[in-house]
Structure 1
Amino acid sequence: MSEWAPRRFWQDAQTVPAEGGHTVTLDDKPVRTPAKARLIVPTQPLAAAIAEEWMAQGERIDPGTMPFTRMANSAIDKVAPQRAEVADMLAAYGDSDLLCYRAEAPDALVARQQEQWDPMLDWAADTLGARLQPRAGVMHAPQPRPALDALAARVHALDAFTLAAFHDLVALSGSLVLGFAAIHRVRPVDELWTLSRLDESWQEEQWGADEEAEEVAGIKREAFLHAARFYRLATGFQPEGRD
């Protein structure tokens, strides 16, 4: 038996200026979030991406094919009411950033982590004013408070929409530094995702790939790339193609 899904009830989806940004209408009826708030986003490019998702629906609505709509809903219904708490949660990643926890052996893995991760820590120090220190092993060691405070201030400066995207960039990669690198466009987003998978890639080289793990990683990679696209649209940047 197939799962029930609501039927398409509109012919056309349009973007419309609204107080505080832009909204999407379906045959002149405004789209609302699951919590019944009006779906108003900060930029026209983001509203256009959402409208395209609604126009692409078939006879029945498939939320799985509407990632821009889902993230906008999350920004309005979940992030906005508790923005400070979400920012605190993400800022805490700085004290246990993936890029700071290094292998003690073998030498080849140690060297690869230094070669690929140290430049990102140097960038964070130079650009974000936050020098995080690498540690050997997995035991937690606190990072310098000035560095954590500098990163936290930048996280708290994000609005609900950019914070929703930033949440996925950080949570999926395990790195606050890589999240900032993605929104600052330091390197192509897929390269930053590859950096977050350095340890897993090493293991695959030694023992071979696991099909199920590869499938899960592929899903996470697409979510990471999508979060970067959402961030850019939410800030008014109109990319010419996919990241």
Structure 2
Amino acid sequence: MSEWKPKRFWNAATVQEGEEGFSVTLDGRPVRTPAKAELQLPTRAMAEAIAAEWDAQENVVDPLTMPFTRSANAAIDKVRTQHAEVADMLAGYGDSDLLCYRATYPDALVARQAAEWDPALDWAEAALGARLVPVAGVVHQPQDPGALERLKTLTHEMDAFRLAAFHDLVGLSGSLVLGFAAARDWRDAQEIWTLSRLDETWQEEQWGRDEDAHAQAERKKAEFMHAKRFYDAAR
């Protein structure tokens, strides 16, 4: 049996500005989240992106074609209700950041990781006030508590919408530093995503591409790029 999808019942999606921000209405009726909260948005840019998604629906509503709507729903229904827990979880990536665990061989991979990842750690020290130290091997070594506390503070400062996007920037890249780097425009989001895939790219160069793994990586890349767009729209 195919999954039921609601039919389009409205003529036009419009953006409304109010005291609490921006909302999207369908023929004057406000869009609500799955938990029935009104979709109150922090910026006009985000509201316009969501309105465009609703306007683009044809005969039936397909949530898979509405990433901004889905992200806003998650921010309101999930992240806002457990903001501290989400922020703590993401800040925890700092103590085991992808960029800090380096190969011990071969020398070419060791050199590539240093050349491509060290600048991100240097940027984090200068821009975020937190120095994380790389280690050789995969055995956990704790980072400086002061640096971790600084990163935790910065994570907690995000509102629910930015934190929802940041969740995907960090989770998909495996790096708190790269999540901040993308959010703060250190480099182009495409380049930051490529940095997060350094080890996988190395393996492909040595052994060839696994098509299934490549397809999965491309899906994650698309999600990462959307998270960056959603973060930007929340500012």
| TM-score normalised over the length of structure 1 | 0.96
Is the partner of 2:35 in helix, strand or coil?
coil
- Separation (CA, whole Å) in 2 of partners of 1:3 and 1:90: 34
Q: Say if 1:18 and 1:40, in contact at 8 Å, map to a contact too.
A: no
Indicate yes or no: 2:207 matched with 1:207: yes
Q: Give the distance between the partners of 2:210 and 2:61, measured in 1 at CA.
A: 33
1:71 equivalent in structure 2: 71
CA distance in 1, matches of 2:153, 2:147: 10
Q: Which amino acid aligns with 1:177?
A: V
The answer to whether residue 131 in structure 2 is matched with residue 131 in structure 1 is: yes
2:178 match = 178
Structure 2 counterparts to residues 223-238 of structure 1, below 5 A = 223-235=223-235
Partner residue of 2:156?
Answer: 156
Give the letter for the 1:186 counterpart.
W
Partner residue in 2 for 1:50: 50
TM-score normalized with structure 2 length: 0.99
Please show how residues 14-33 of structure 1 align to structure 2 within 5 Å. 14-33=14-33
The superposition leaves residues 175-230 of structure 1 with CA deviations (integer Å, 9 ceiling, x where unpaired) of 00000000110100000000000000000000000111111000000000000000
1:19, CA displacement in angstroms? 2.9
Contact 1:95-1:143 within 8 A present in 2 as well:
yes
Unaligned segments of structure 2, at least 5 residues:
none
8 Å CA contact 1:24–1:51 kept in 2: the answer is: yes
CA distance in 1 between partners of 2:155 and 2:3 (Å): 39
Task: Tell me the distance in 2 between the aligned counterparts of 1:35 and 1:18.
Answer: 21
Q: How many residues align?
A: 235
Shift, 1:20, TM fit: 1.6
Shift of 1:18: 2.4
Amino-acid identity (%)? 64
Q: Distance in 2 between matches of 1:234 and 1:16?
A: 16
- Give 3-state SS (helix, strand or coil) of 1:41's partner: coil
Give the match for residue 3 of structure 1: 3
Runs of 4+ in 1 over 6 A off after TM superposition: none
Gaps spanning 5+ residues in structure 1: where?
236-243
SS of structure 1 residue aligned to 2:16: strand
